[in-house]
Structure 1
Amino acid sequence: MSTVAAPAAVMLPAPRRAVDDVDSVAVLPELWVPEASQWLSSSAGRVALEGYSWMQAVHWVAGAGLYQPRRHRSSGLRSFNATTVFIAQLLAELNPCFPGIEYLMRRTGLSKRIVNYHLAALRETGLLAYISKGTRVRGARAEASEFARMIPVEFDVALGIRTVLRDEAAPAYTRAVTGIAEAGRELMARLGKKAARKLRRPRPKTSPKASLAGARAGADGVAGTAVSAGSRCTPMGGGPNGSSPAGTTSLPPESKLASGADESSSGKKSMGKAGGRKNGRRKLNVIGRRYQLGRELTQQVEWLRGCSAPRVSWVARDLADAGWTVTEVLAWLHLRGTADRVHRGSGLLAVLLHGAETVLDTPAKRADAIEQWRGAQEARRRHRIEQVRADRERYEGDWQLPESRAVHSEMDSAVAQLKSASRAVVPDLVDDTEGAGVTSYEIDGQELADIRAAAQAGLETGDTTLINDTVHGCGLEEAVRVYGEDLILRAHQLDRFRRSSLSSYAYGA
């Protein structure tokens, strides 16, 4: 039986014999609409023309007690309650009835699952029927369902409402009301008063003491005020009974005015009256400190990210009870060290924290551990800065050898081939130039040293122009006499290496 309205005996009057058999009222069986009949085309009820008459049917269903969902399924609501009536009032304000789940969640403060439960209750009682069902397609925008506000046929039978289908070609849900039985007029009047009320969102009970609004709530369990309210009280005009609002003003006692000010009007409360709060913040108890430490560890320890915060709180419960902070726990983990690969973070934490409260049993020891941890953090930060700086200088500076061993081996093999080829070419060139009648020039020692120094400097930068010009102009034998075999061999190696397909590196311009 729902606690929203009056007992079912009031909502369902006992059948009595009237003047005409048409005006008789029947007692109805259980109210349940299967899923296949929750569409407008297959519904047995009639469409409500406006929200007022529909809310009359909603309040009748709420107080009838005919809706027993647990007989058909194990999940969802247990009965038609006050929150269902409040959601129905929100739907009565929409035209067309095209509500979104997010809108109902925002207006009611409920979760998506609970809102869907209440919508299902309205459909299963025949008060709502699908016109079009919302879509939930991945990658596309979700569309809300469109409903038709329906009046179930059980409501018409219970109150003796007579309906007629004015157009034979029209659907059955377009029936119009033509009259009502005498036995249902009184009940219809009471339902009209409830439908005229503007309901407020029901609040969960937080204490056994009933609030003033709850004490003034109606018999349906929903606090509300009539839409057509009478006279209202104003700060200047007094109440509707003509009494002055200043008549109930009470002065503070003289003991409270000893300092010249009323402490009750200053907005300051003592710690005892503030419910154990300090500076507007609630003091945590033992369980709260455990959960706070576990949540901070999952946020600051890298290998604990993704772990269950309640489980981490249970693992670190002894340290939380001893008053440890998350900084002290991080310092202890630095002293213990961690593994390279962590398969189960909470298990590793339990091993590392074993015996921590006995080793660092004083605040001084924990402060010393924190200083060591912070020093290690600073050293790690400086090392990281130096590493980044070295990498930047390495990649933005001059060219260096690649780190790949495969590239090194290919370069070594290419250089070895060039060296072997150049050693074989130099004797051939010497033999070809022998007896060619090349004139030999006499050069003194100082001039020869200057020429060799210039050739050496050119080879260091990859320039072989001076040596090649001497070979082509004076012959290889004269070039060997001037520069020596070592410089001639290096010049040939550079030229062959520059023209090799195994390297894309080139010297000089």
Structure 2
Amino acid sequence: MPYRTPACQLERAQTPETRQKSTPEQGTQCLNVAPACQWLSTTTGRIATDGHTWLTAVHWTADPKATRYTPTRSHGPRRMNVTTVLLAQEIANLKECRPGIAYLARKLKVSERTVEYHLGMLREAGLLAYRTKGGRVVQGRDEASVYERTIPLAFDEAHGIRTVGEGVQRRPVTAAPEARKSLGNLAKKAARKVRRPRRRTPASGESRCTLMEGSSTGSFPAGSSIPPSETRLASGDSTHPTPKKATSRPQKLNKIGRRHQLARQLIQNVPWLSRASVPRIAWIARHCADAGWQWQEVQAAAEERGPIGEVGSFRPSGLLAYRLKGVHQLYASQTARHAMLTAWEDSRLREHLRHEGYDQPTPEADSTTAQAAQQSITDTFHQERANWAAEQDGPMYAEGAVDIHSLTREEVLAQRELAAADPTFVRSFIAELGEQGARQLLTHRIVNQALTLLRLNTPALANAF
């Protein structure tokens, strides 16, 4: 094929080629682009509009029935094959045509040298053109080359494709009527994903035996057959000559498995995390799991700022993420985690003993003394509530029935603010107005919140109402 510039014409080799190459068929064009014309500024092809159009040109060039391209180098692949098409499929899917050698070798499961061979063949065939050539940068790493997917001029001439525009920005307008069928077949090939053919090799290197115990060689099978022993015909050997080794050892958890294991332990043992999701808790506690934390240490770190009730955690995962923020850096060593866990357990123990001493009398104290103390607490609370009610000026604590509709907006807001600040007065509102009237005056949210907090208080204070 004639080149646009004389520099792009390859010179004929002076030494005879030792490798046998198939001669091109009649009417075919041999695609060989010189290294000087493998750049975007010197190529005679045009930039492909999309990856599918470019793959049609790749399948046309790599057609094994028509020798359109022959490599010029004396080593490496002798022609385009399935690996070239697989490489072209990976390049066609790239948004920016900047394929790395290591990336393509990992995707195709071939060596980096094989990738370099096939990239060179795509450049020589005019299917790839350098935009910038990769090299060694200052940091010491190789920079990948940037290519442009191009369609060679021979492809347009073979199919009678007429283009408009200048240079590499040419765009196809129409094709010859007799070439539309071949273009359709190439489009179907480009739409199908090519896969590497499976190797059909025997499972072992030995020759396969037939049903008559003979081998696949030319020797007569009946001459070398040996009958089995009479002692092994009935029941056979009691043990296998090569027993299998027991491999039922417990598998070691990786990093992800350790995170999910810690999340499951937290959800099973921590009450306020019982409604949480395992993947979400695993992601939140990932730093603690990677550092080797136990679920007791995670709970201690979360409840270090204060105890968490099962009712107060409306979103357990968000509360855990807030409490665990930065704790893996604060308690980085195992000694610090142990001290933190010990302090948390001591605080819980002291709280438990304090509640037990308040709710139940000690063995040394008399039951009459405990009942008198509880009655004293109740009387004191009633006296304080009566004194506070006498100091109020509103109609809430007047004698007789109370009409809540007669209250002004300022008085209603004042009563709600007072009830939100001190939940014990909600019981007073319920006793005066009834539960429905209290909810109408104070809203459902304030009443529910106050009743929940009072329910979590000590029994002595709760029975006072």
- For the pair shown, the structure with the greater C-alpha radius of gyration is 1
Q: What TM-score, normalized to structure 2?
A: 0.38
Q: What TM-score, normalized to structure 1?
A: 0.34
